[in-house]
Amino acid sequence: MGRHPRAWMTTGGCGTIFAVANLLLFVVLMYWAWRYGINHYLCVAAVSGDLNTAETMLRLGASPNYRLPNGDTPLTLAARAGHPLIVLSLLSAGADVNLPRSNGETPLFVAVEGGHLAVARILLENRADVNRANRSGVTPLMIASRDGRVEMVQLLLAYRADPTLRDQRGFDAFHFVKSKEGQQYQQIEQVLREALGTQGKK
């Protein structure tokens, strides 16, 4: 079994779970910001989508690559919450586009997991590693395929996502669509097969 069960959740209820998780994280960050200073205020702004506060904290010297105890950075927080303007601001301030959380999830990974297409596009345009996996070997393409996100899959493939990569359980992106019902999964399987031919893979 993989080390991170959350990466294998089905799509049902994901939106509610993400909303609750972000709310709880916001409350924790508010406490840390009050206690620890501008770097935590930057993290709070990244989660809440407060662009003015984020840019103010950056001007005051907050680090765009500051890491919380779980490895989250302002960029992973903004990417997971789906705030493209803050993502752009952090990247302009020198945020590392590939700096992962402690579990190996990059900003691109969490943006894909949250279904934030615009954020994922910004990260890829700024040289995010499209094939970088988490510690369980799960790639952004696997997540997008699992969740039935056709446009996200197409975007990742346009940036050379590799559909043949396998996670620690030996599963590739095809595994996550073959057992699913629904037109979107059939479409994703077709898109993945077309990508194999385009990329010259077997």
Would you kindly state where each structural domain of the chain is located, as residue ranges? 24-129, 133-201
The CA distance from 90 to 74, in Å, is: 8
CB half-sphere exposure, 46, CA atoms < 13 A: 35
Tell whether the model's pLDDT for residue 155 goes beyond 80.
yes
Average pLDDT of the chain is 89
pTM over 0.75: yes
Q: Please give the structure tokens belonging to residue 111.
A: 């943006």
CATH number, domain 133-201: 1.25.40.20
pLDDT at 202: 45
Answer whether 24-129 and 133-201 agree in fold. yes
What is the CATH architecture of 24-129?
Alpha Horseshoe (1.25)
pLDDT at 24: 79
pLDDT at 4: 43
Residue entry with tokens 């969740």? 147
Tell whether the model's pLDDT for residue 118 goes beyond 70.
yes
pLDDT category of residue 14 using cuts at 50, 70 and 90 = low
Sequence letter at residue 62: A
The one-character DSSP state at 71 is S
Tell whether the model's pLDDT for residue 7 goes beyond 80.
no
- Contacts of residue 46, defined as CB under 8 A and 6 or more positions apart, other chains included, come to 54, 74, 75, 77, 78, 81, 83, 86, 90
Work out the average pLDDT over 139-152: 98
Nearest alpha carbon to residue 54 among 45, 63, 62: 45
